[in-house]
């Protein structure tokens, strides 16, 4: 049999989840006896499943009750997720990668490729940091170690910052005074921050992102402008629609939870977790109505949308301290890592960009742990020179 075979992938998955029938067991054992490479691959897959099972988040992914708790803790910005089980989900997700990548690492002489560091510069995970720019262009540096403080964003208008949170929900000013006063929250590479708008809407901003918004919304609509990635929990208000505007896309919100990401190469991704949104290209008419569990991918070159059902959890767990990659190219993965760890990436080989990896890791881990995991599965080399990561095959 070939090293990669969809039927064998199914047999291994059933073996790892305890669903293997007697006929399937005989077939799998025959495949294992057929080649030493098959045995090595099978052990490698079991190792990857074991590593994934150590993550508390993914022991809960196949449990509906845990998912409801995940949504609750997400609103409270906790990085603790209740756990139940992983094996079925992890096998389904990790297996395709392990089987596809098996041929790559089985044909390499090295079992583990180390990361060389030519010039020692500390690479640290991102953390709560941002810059607030008020309407008069005053710049306020924000970080997570600051205690509770008040910031005047307009004459007579004071907001509160506490750690990684910025709140506009306790304003002392009339609508007329502040309706047109715009603030900008800018999160640098290696940063993250939470913002509570004047209507109670929560916005979680990821690295290298910027949100422009009014100090207080007017009586007709609520409109914000996004560059980068943000997760929104919009307060329902049937009298004032909420709009998220990016360079190419407009999202009309009806009280919901969703994620918008403009960092994808050539794409703008909108993922709906709960509620209802209408999405369209800016300057056009005719919205596409999204349902929960759908991804709307806007192609910048073609100017068109593709809408499909997805597991939305893989698109939103970043705000709860995790990376999740499912058959993503190294180019996409290293782009994500570069924003969070504030590093530059250089590929010595174009073909390395297209290699794929699946994995689940904590965002606050040392970057070497993530790079070693990728090396172990895909077989590329990473060299760290200062704050530049060089990728070679």
Going by pLDDT thresholds of 50, 70 and 90, the confidence category of residue 31 is confident
By percentage, how much of the chain surpasses pLDDT 90?
44
Please compute the mean of the pLDDT values over residues 370-385 and round it to a whole number.
91
- For 264-305, what is each residue's pLDDT tens digit? 888 999 999 999 999 999 988 889 999 999 999 999 999 999
Looking at residue 47, what is its pLDDT? 55
Query: Which of 71, 60, 337 minimizes the C-alpha distance to 202?
Result: 71
Rounded distance between C-alpha atoms, residue 342 and residue 336, angstroms: 10
Grade residue 161 by pLDDT with cuts at 50, 70 and 90. confident
Question: What is the distance between the alpha carbons of residues 382 and 115, in angstroms, rounded to a whole number?
Answer: 5
As a whole number of angstroms, the distance between CA 181 and CA 213 comes to 9
Res 39: pLDDT: 77
Q: Which helix (H) or strand (E) holds 290?
A: strand 288-290
pLDDT at 82 over 50: no
Under the banding of pLDDT at 50, 70 and 90, the label for residue 77 is: very low
Q: What is the pLDDT of residue 176?
A: 53
- Average pLDDT of the chain? 78
The pair of structure tokens assigned to 263 is 């960092």
Higher pLDDT, 59 or 244: 244
| Residue 45 binned pLDDT confidence (cut-offs 50, 70, 90) | low
| pLDDT, mean of residues 20-26 | 78
Whether this prediction's pTM lies above 0.75 is answered by no
Q: Give the pLDDT score at 258.
A: 95
CA distance 143 to 300: 34
pLDDT digits (tens, 9 = 90+) for 168-225: 864 544 445 545 689 999 999 999 999 999 889 999 999 999 999 998 888 888 999 9
4 against 238, higher pLDDT: 238
Instruction: Kindly report the number of other CB atoms within 10 A of residue 54's CB atom.
Output: 10
Per-residue pLDDT tens digits for 314-364: 899 999 999 999 889 999 999 999 999 999 999 988 899 999 999 888 999
Q: How confident is the model at residue 64 (pLDDT cuts 50, 70, 90)?
A: very low
Q: How confident is the model at residue 58 (pLDDT cuts 50, 70, 90)?
A: very low
Whole-angstrom Cα distance, residue 13 to residue 87? 9
pLDDT above 90 for 48: no
């Amino acid at each position: 049999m070939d090293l990669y075979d969809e039927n064998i992938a199914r047999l291994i998955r059933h073996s790892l989840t305890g669903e293997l029938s007697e006929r399937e067991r005989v077939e799998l054992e025959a495949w294992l006896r057929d080649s030493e490479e098959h045995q090595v691959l099978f052990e490698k897959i079991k190792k990857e499943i074991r590593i994934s099972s150590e993550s508390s988040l993914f022991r809960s992914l196949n449990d509906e009750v845990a998912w409801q708790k995940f949504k609750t803790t997400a609103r409270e910005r906790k990085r603790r997720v209740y756990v139940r089980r992983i094996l079925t989900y992890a096998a389904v997700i990790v297996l395709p990668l392990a089987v596809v990548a098996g041929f790559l690492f089985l044909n390499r002489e090295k079992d583990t490729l180390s990361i060389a560091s030519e010039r020692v510069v500390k690479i640290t995970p991102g953390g709560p940091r941002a810059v607030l720019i008020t309407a008069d262009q005053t710049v306020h540096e924000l970080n997570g170690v600051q205690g509770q403080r008040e910031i005047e964003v307009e004459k007579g208008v004071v907001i509160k910052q506490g750690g990684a949170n910025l709140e506009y929900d306790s304003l002392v000013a009339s609508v007329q005074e502040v309706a047109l006063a715009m603030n900008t929250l800018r999160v640098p590479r290696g940063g993250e921050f939470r913002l509570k708008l004047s209507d109670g809407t929560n916005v979680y901003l990821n690295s290298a992102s910027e949100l422009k918004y009014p100090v207080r919304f007017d009586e007709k609509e609520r409109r914000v402008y996004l560059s980068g990635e943000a997760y929104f929990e919009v307060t329902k208000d049937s009298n004032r629609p909420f709009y998220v505007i990016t360079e190419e896309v407009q999202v009309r919100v009806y009280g919901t939870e969703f994620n918008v990401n403009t960092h994808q190469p050539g794409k703008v991704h909108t993922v709906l977790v709960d509620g209802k949104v209408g999405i369209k290209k800016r300057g056009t008419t005719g919205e596409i109505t999204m349902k929960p569990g759908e991804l709307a991918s806007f192609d910048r070159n073609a100017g068109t949308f593709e809408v499909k059902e997805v597991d939305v959890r893989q698109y939103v767990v970043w705000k709860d301290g995790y990376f999740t990659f499912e058959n993503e190219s190294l180019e996409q993965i290293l782009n994500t890592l570069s924003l969070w760890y504030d590093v530059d990436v250089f590929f010595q080989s174009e073909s390395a960009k297209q290699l794929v990896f699946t994995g689940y890791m904590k965002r606050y881990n040392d970057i070497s742990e993530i790079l070693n995991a990728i090396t172990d599965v895909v077989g590329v080399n990473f060299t760290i020179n200062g704050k530049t990561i060089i990728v070679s095959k």
